[in-house]
Structure 1
């Protein structure tokens, strides 16, 4: 009986975490020295899906991704690009195999993405809006 209650508690806690991640706002961020003031979802999706390798400013883009297991990554690709994780993975497999593009640099956590973007003038990444600080500049909020 006790294990059933514990299992139910774990399921409820897990569902609450998923719901929280699903409702989080995702901020697309660039280096604060970037001339970009804003970007459209289409521009962001084009960079993160390998359709272009330049920022709207003309600079070479250096995109940073969260790990595949990240709920924020799932939300980002779903909302910004209209793609599932499997579709994104298939897109990058095709582009990488054909030699047409290199996938975004995958970093382990939001703080690593923020640090990468803050230290690279051509970097672009995404993190939960609540993790944004003055070390980066927000160019799009994905909801």
Structure 2
């Protein structure tokens, strides 16, 4: 194996290890006293409970994949199919979505009744962690 190939392989393994150890957390505004359960959070992100505003991440990324897989048991195609059915029947609209972890944290920090999910590294003192996903 050439030195360049070894370096590329080492970087790829390091990135994979970092990804595997990242933690996804559910966050709310630091001033909010409500503490929904994991099943409540699933209902919020499936549009079944509108007491809190779920803030979704645009596109499909590892954080979103881990969140939806752990909390709702749905993968990308299942989630798209689910929302298509709700929109088609007029029973719901997809949640507001923002670009990335930083945008979720900023919006959740601004709105007292917002809830979102991010990689733990994005958390600051303006949001509180409700729980960490397994």
Work out the CA distance in 2 between the residues paired with 1:95 and 1:14.
39
Work out the CA distance in 2 between the residues paired with 1:67 and 1:14.
25
- List aligned pairs for 1:51-90, cutoff 5 A: 51-54=48-51, 61-90=52-81
1:14 offset after TM fit, Å? 4.5
What is the Cα-based RMSD across aligned positions, in Å?
2.2
In the superposition, the TM-score normalised over structure 1's length comes to 0.80
- Structure 1 residues 121 and 101 mapped into 2: Cα distance closer, same or farther (>3 Å)? same
- List aligned pairs for 1:11-26, cutoff 5 A: 13-14=11-12, 16-26=14-24
Equivalent residues, number: 133
Greater displacement, 12-21 / 67-76: 12-21
Partner secondary structure for residue 52 of structure 1: coil
Work out the CA distance in 2 between the residues paired with 1:15 and 1:82.
28
- Structure 1 residues 18 and 77 mapped into 2: Cα distance closer, same or farther (>3 Å)? farther
1:100 offset after TM fit, Å? 1.3
Equivalent residue for 1:125? Answer: 116
Work out the CA distance in 1 between the residues paired with 2:71 and 2:106.
22
Equivalent residue for 1:32? Answer: 30
Equivalent residue for 1:103? Answer: 94
1:15 offset after TM fit, Å? 5.5
- What per-residue deviation string (whole Å, max 9, x for no partner) do you get for residues 38-64 of structure 1? 33221111111122212xxxxxx2111
**Could you tell me which of 15, 27, 43 is aligned with 2:40?**
43
In the superposition, the TM-score normalised over structure 2's length comes to 0.85
